[in-house]
Structure 1
């Protein structure tokens, strides 16, 4: 039930009016200022909802970016492991090795786009030498 008294809002005149308790600030105010307080609360809630919606949207966007980066990192870690296995075993074809070098170069280039990657390919004579050495080694192994 409203009480009679002076509104506690500083913008109100000092006339005796029916006063209501504002649930947000717990002050006794006239009906005009109670409605104004409720409107401010409504606007603040709308603004808060809008900001929370924006925050949720950018958070989800950042989450997708991080997940994409994590996927790329996992793929690059796999390339590193593959390169280490190839370097340990050394029983890999030149084509497989060259393919892996290309993949690693691409990964490096994608992480450092401002740098230049130099592609090193064996000369034909080196490839022929390697092939003949491999053939000789196979023949020696087969004759044992």
Structure 2
């Protein structure tokens, strides 16, 4: 079973003007091996940008992406980190890990923005071929 964070570990003080960008990593899915690979890709993405990922901020849920995000314990933990100003951003493997419909995704994005938290995705929102069609 994947690690779903039931209690808030101490991530230390909230990130301040230290110049270090602190992010949480989040992935969800029904295949534990795929979710581990997704988190590894998110960690690599963050490392290439020199973003810090504190202990307790690698969060996974064992739920399909079609499950509403607020019903997932891990995503609830991520939302809490954002609300507590413990992170500057969240890295996901793909936008669908947050919400499987535009309405769900947009609602979660608004929540993050209200708390000043950015969202970064390893995979782009639109495939490059689709994005190229609209230029």
TM-score, length-scaled by structure 2: 0.22
More helix by share: 1
More strand by share: 2
Bigger radius of gyration among the two:
1
The normalised TM-score by structure 1 is 0.21
